[in-house]
A and B are shown apart, each in its own frame.
Chain A
C-alpha cells in the first residue's frame, strides 16, 4: 500500500451511520480497510471502471431487471404490486451485483486471491462466478451444516472453479463462515480481497455493498415512475444482512412520502429464541466488525439465529438499517417460517414465480400484516431478491408444505 493511502485517510473517521458501523476488527486489517476505502473512492469516479461495471451488469447479469406488475398477487394483496425481478439475474439473485463489482475492484487493486463466505450458497455461487469471469482465485467458506443442506450450490461453486472450505465451528452456519473468512483475511491480507456478501462488516463494506446494490432501487424508481407517474406508497424488501433491502431503499430514502419496510425472519416466533430478527428484537452490539443491531445475550455474547431461509439465518444486520430504524425512516417487521413457507407456495401458484425463501418473507408480510383495504389508490414495489430453485429440496422435505 502506498504512503498516500495512509495520508489521505489519516484522521478521517471511518464510516458510521449515526452511531452504527465503524471498524471493530483486529489492527492487522486496518491498513487493508483504509486501502479499500480509497480504492473504492477512486474507482467509482473512474469512467473506465464504471463503464466496465455497467457493461457487465447489462450484458452478463442481464440488467436492468424488469419491474413486473404482478396482477394476481395484486388482487390478493388488495392493491397494485410491482415485483422487482432480481430473481431473473444471472445466478438467480441480487448477490451477483455486489460480487461482480467487488471482483472488478479486487482486480483493479491487484489482489489475485478472493475469499467469500456463504450461507445458502447464493453469494458463494455469485462470487465463484465473478472470479471465473475475471480469472481470480476463489475460496469460499461455508459452514459444514450448510454444505450438507445446500449440496447443489456446493457443486456449482466447484464447477466454477472455487474451493469450498468447510467451517466446523459453532452451529456450522453463516455466522461462523463469516468469522472464518475474516480470520483468513487477517492472515492473508497482503494478496487477498474479501468479497463480503451483504451490507455488513467493518467500514467501508456496508457502504461499498450498498453502492453496488443501489442499482436495484435506482432502476425500480425510474421504472415505477414510468409505469405509474407517481412514486409507490411502499417499498418492501427482506432483510438478512440487509443488502437487497438497502440496495432497494437507497434511491427512495429522500422520497419521504414513500414508506420503506424491511422484513426480517421471525423463525419460530419472536417470543422464542429461534429467530433472526435483530432489528426488531436485538440489541446494539458488535458483530463481524460493525456496531449494529445484533442478537446477543445480556453479556454481549452473540446468539445463534434461526430461519428456515439460510440467507436470513444470521444474528446481525447492516449498520445503515439500524440507523434508518432509529431515525424512523424505515420500518422493520418480522415474518415466521410458517408464513414464509406459505407465501413461497402462494406466489408460485399465483404468478408462476417460485421465489427464494428469503424473498418469500417479504411476500408473506405483503399478504399478511401488510395487507391494505380495497380502494386504496397507492401501489407497492417489492424486491424479489432471488428465485427459489435452491430451496426446492429443503421445502419439499418439509411435510407441512403439501
Chain B
C-alpha cells in the first residue's frame, strides 16, 4: 500500500523493492521457484522460506510442458509439477500467499497466457493474485503486442530479456520499453548452473544500464553465494534459479523450506558482505 492507501501497481512495487536494496548498497536477491514443485505443499513452503530468508523479489515459475528456455533441472521440475496436476490456479494461490510481503513476478510461457481465456483474462487473474509482473521467456521483444498491452492495462510489468547475442540497436530498443526491470541472460544457453560467471558480464550489464530507466537483474547460471556476490557487484539484481530448484528437489520431504532457506541466508549474507566491502573500498 502507498501512503494514501491506494494499492500500488506491480511496476511500482518492483521499483520499490529494488530501491530498498539499493538503499542498503547491495543488489536485490531474486530467487526463482517452480510452482507446484516438488509438490504443492512444499512449494508453498519454499515461497514462505524465500520471504523469511532475504528475498527482495520472488520469481514464480508456472510449469509448462515444453519450456524451450529451460535446461534439464527446471524442465524436469515443470514436468513433475504438471504430472502432480498443478494448474495455473495453484501457482496463483502460492502467489497470493506471499505477494503482500514480497513482490512476485511470474515466469510464464506464452501458452499459459494464451491458453484458457486469453491475455486479458490471464492478466486479470495474475493481478488479482497480487503478481507484480511477468517474464515470458518465449516472447521476445516485438513479437506479440496484444500480450504486452493486456499486462500494461492490468498494471503488470512486462520484464523483457536481453541476451548476450542481442545486438546493440535491438538491446537499446528493448531497454527503452522495459517495465519493472530488464532481465539480462548472463550467458548463451538455457537455464542451468555454470561453473563460472561470464567474463564479459560487466560489459553486458553496462550496455543495458546505459540505456535503461529500470534496474538490471542478471540470471541464468548463478549457482553459488560467491557467484551471486560477484554478480551483485555489477548488477542491480541477482536471480538464482536452477540451483534452488535442485536444492528443493533433493531435500528430504519436510526439509524443503530449511534447505532452500539456508542457501538463501548464505547468499543474502554474501551479497551484504560484498556490498559492505565495496563501500569501504570506494
Contacts and interface: CB of A to CB of B under 8 A. Distances in A.
Interface of A: 1, 3, 6-7, 10, 14, 22-32, 169-170, 175, 179, 182-183, 186-187, 189-190, 283-289, 291, 296-302
Contacts of B113: 300
A302 B138 CA distance: 15
Nearest to A169: B75
B18 interface: no
Interface residues of B, number: 40
B111 A286 contact: yes
B79 interface: yes
B114 A6 contact: no
A299 B144 contact: no
B214 to A, nearest CB: 16
B278 interface: no
B167 interface: yes
Given A24-B138, A26-B140, A6 B68 contact: no
Contacts of B140: 23-27, 30
Interface in B72-129: 75, 79, 82, 87-88, 109-116
Q: Name which of B69, B79, B87 has the most chain A CB atoms within 10 A of its CB.
A: B69
B66 interface: yes
A175 B67 CA distance: 12
Given A6-B170, A25-B138, A187-B189, A299 B112 contact: yes
A7 B169 contact: yes
B142 to A, nearest CB: 8
A289 B165 contact: no
Given A1-B167, A169-B79, A287-B66, A28 B188 contact: yes
24 contacts: A6-B170, A10-B169, A23-B143, A25-B68, A26-B68, A26-B69, A26-B161, A26-B163, A27-B163, A27-B165, A28-B163, A28-B165, A32-B165, A170-B65, A187-B188, A189-B165, A285-B111, A285-B115, A286-B111, A288-B68, A289-B68, A300-B109, A300-B111, A302-B66
B114 A22 contact: no
Contact of B111 (A25, A182, A301): A301
B143 A22 contact: yes
Nearest to B63: A301
Interface of B is mostly: loop
Tell which of B110, B114, B165 has the most Cβ of chain A within 10 Å.
B165
A286 B67 CA distance: 11
A1 B168 CA distance: 12
A302 B65 contact: yes
B137 interface: yes
* A-B CB proximity, top 5 nearest: A300-B115, A300-B111, A28-B163, A187-B189, A26-B69
A189 B188 contact: yes
Given A30-B140, A31-B170, A300-B113, 18 more contacts: A1-B167, A6-B169, A23-B140, A24-B138, A25-B138, A25-B140, A27-B161, A27-B162, A27-B165, A28-B185, A30-B165, A30-B166, A31-B165, A190-B165, A190-B188, A299-B115, A300-B112, A301-B115
B230 interface: no
B66 A175 contact: yes
A286 B87 contact: no
Contacts of A26: 68-69, 137-138, 140, 161, 163, 185, 190
Contacts of A299: 87-88, 112, 115-116
A298 B188 CA distance: 33
B37 interface: no
Interface string B21-59: 000000000000000000000000000000000000000
Nearest to A24: B138
Nearest to B78: A301
Given A10-B169, A24-B138, A32-B165, A285 B69 contact: no
Contacts of A6: 167, 169-170
A183 B67 CA distance: 9
Contacts of A1: 167
Nearest to A26: B69
B141 interface: yes
A299 B138 CA distance: 17
Nearest to B173: A10
Contacts of A23: 140, 143
Interface in B212-264: none
A190 B66 CA distance: 23
B139 interface: yes
Contacts of B114: 284-286, 291, 300
B202 to A, nearest CB: 19
B181 interface: no
A184 to B, nearest CB: 9
Nearest to B189: A187
Contact of A286 (B138, B166, B190): B138
A56 B254 CA distance: 63
B68 A182 contact: yes
A10 B167 CA distance: 11
A31 B68 contact: no
A296 B115 contact: yes
Contacts of A28: 163-166, 185, 188-189
A27 B190 contact: no
A283 B167 CA distance: 34
A115 to B, nearest CB: 14
B190 A186 contact: yes
B103 to A, nearest CB: 23
Contacts of B167: 1, 3, 6, 31
Contacts of A298: 115-116
Contacts of A297: 115
Contact of B139 (A10, A24, A186, A287): A24
A39 to B, nearest CB: 16
Most buried by B among A170, A289, A291, A300: A300
Contacts of B165: 27-32, 189-190
A186 B116 contact: no
A189 B87 CA distance: 33
B112 A30 contact: no
Contacts of B116: 298-300
Contacts of B139: 24
